[in-house]
Amino acid sequence: MPKVNTKLVLWDEIVGWCWRLADKVRMEGFKPDVVVAIARGGYVPARLLCDFLDIHDLISLQILHWGKAAEITAVAHVKYPFVVDLSGKKVLLVDDIIDTGDSVIIARDYILSKWKPAELKTAAMQWISPVAKIKPDFYVEEVKEWVWYQYPWTRAEDTTNFFEKIVKESAKEGKLEWTYEELVKEFRNWYGIDVGETYYRIALTRLLENGLIERRGERYVVRRQ
């Protein structure tokens, strides 16, 4: 069994989920004037919803929350606060997934207090109901057991962070040297997914560049911190 329950998400799944999400919005009769994407995860779903719902006004608000390798490392907050006059407008606030819900709550409260829309509803592709502090107005999947959704737009970033976690945790137990094949096998064991050689190579190049590991012949060696 993998150490971290992870689902590898494909682009076609994203399009299908967003189409279903748009259909739920239409069926309820909610007609947003503006879509607000929670950056960075909400960018792609928000743009697809704009396309499927024929909405031409798209705004982004960045909420900083998640850290590396599926770990929460910060209190959710608006990273770059700014003010937009949305008085009289109906807003659809979009994120990719509602996990704890902190990002959506912070964004919702900020928009309502600072931007003052006439109405605001929330949407996400996935809702992890056991841990979420908020239920979105619109969602496609209720997830009843926690899982890290590995979306296509974070594949290189997540792979890098996952490798970093593997080598750091293994270094504590004395393993400092790896072959490429060993690292890939360990990645698959930890996360239960295969992201493909392109992403493995990108991730390892990033770890070499940031100095966590170094190359010695055909082996990757963890540099002592």
Kindly report, residue by residue over 115-124, the tens digit of the pLDDT. 999 999 999 9
Q: Please tell me the predicted confidence (pLDDT) of residue 111.
A: 98
Please tell me the CATH code under which domain 154-222 is placed: 1.10.10.10
- SS3 of 84, please? coil
Mean pLDDT of all residues in 39-46: 96
Q: Provide CB contacts within 8 A for 223, sequence distance 6+.
A: 211, 212, 213, 214
Answer yes or no: is pLDDT of 65 > 80.
no
Residue 68's pLDDT band (cuts 50, 70, 90):
low
Mean pLDDT of all residues in 177-188: 98
Domains 6-150 and 154-222 share a fold: no
Q: Please tell me the predicted confidence (pLDDT) of residue 70.
A: 47
Share of the chain above pLDDT 70, in %: 96
Mean pLDDT of all residues in 208-215: 96
E-state strands within 69-154: 72-78, 90-98, 119-128, 138-143, 148-150
For residue 60, give the nearest of 86, 39, 89, 91 by alpha carbon. 39
Please tell me the CATH code under which domain 6-150 is placed: 3.40.50.2020
Residue 225's pLDDT band (cuts 50, 70, 90):
low
Residue 76's pLDDT band (cuts 50, 70, 90):
confident
9 sits in the region (left: phi over 0; alpha: psi -120 to 50; else beta) called beta
Strand duo 72-78 + 90-98: pairing: unpaired
| Number of neighbouring beta carbons within 10 Å of residue 182 | 14
Read off the pTM: 0.92
Domain boundaries, the chain: 6-150, 154-222
Tens of pLDDT, residue by residue over 139-156, are 999 999 999 999 999 999
Give the mean pLDDT of the chain: 94
Pair 156, 184: CB distance under 8 Å? no
54 sits in the region (left: phi over 0; alpha: psi -120 to 50; else beta) called left
